[in-house]
Amino acid sequence: MATIRAKFRCSREITTKWNPDHDGDRSYEFTAVYDDKTPENQRFAKATPSGQLTIAVSNPAVSFVAGKEYYLDFTPVDEAAEA
C-alpha cells in the first residue's frame, strides 16, 4: 500500500491543567476537510468525507492552530524496521 494523504482541519486546542505547578497537557481535535471552496478540498472531501482525530502533544515545540488545515499522511510501517 502506498502512502495515503488526508486533509484535516484543527478544530480546537484543549489544555488541561491538573495542578498549579504544571503547564498543562495539550490535546488537539481535528476533523476531515469537507468544503467545496477549492478544487483540492473537493477532492479530499470526496475521498474522505468524514473523520475525527484527537491527539495529545507533550513536545513543547509542536503546536497546531485552530482553523488551520493540515495534511495527514498514513504510511505503512515496514515490519523489518521495527525488529
Predicted confidence (pLDDT) per residue in 17-57, tens digit: 766 766 678 899 999 998 778 899 888 888 878 899 999 99
Long-range contacts of 15-20 (CB under 8 A, 24+ apart): none
Domain that includes residue 28, residue range: 4-63
pLDDT of residue 60: 85
Q: Is residue 55 part of a domain?
A: yes
Q: Is residue 69 part of a domain?
A: no
Q: How far apart are CA 11 and CA 5, in angstroms?
A: 19
**Per the structure, how many domains does the chain have?**
1
Instruction: Judge contact between 48 and 77, C-beta under 8 A.
Output: no
pLDDT above 70: percentage of residues in the chain: 90
pTM of the complete model: 0.79
- The set of cell numbers assigned to 25 is 497537557
Locus of grid cell 478544487: 39
Amino acid, single-letter form, for residue 61: A
Q: Is residue 33 part of a domain?
A: yes
Binned at pLDDT 50, 70 and 90, residue 3 comes out as confident
Q: Is residue 82 part of a domain?
A: no
Q: Is residue 58 part of a domain?
A: yes
Q: How far apart are CA 40 and CA 29, in angstroms?
A: 22
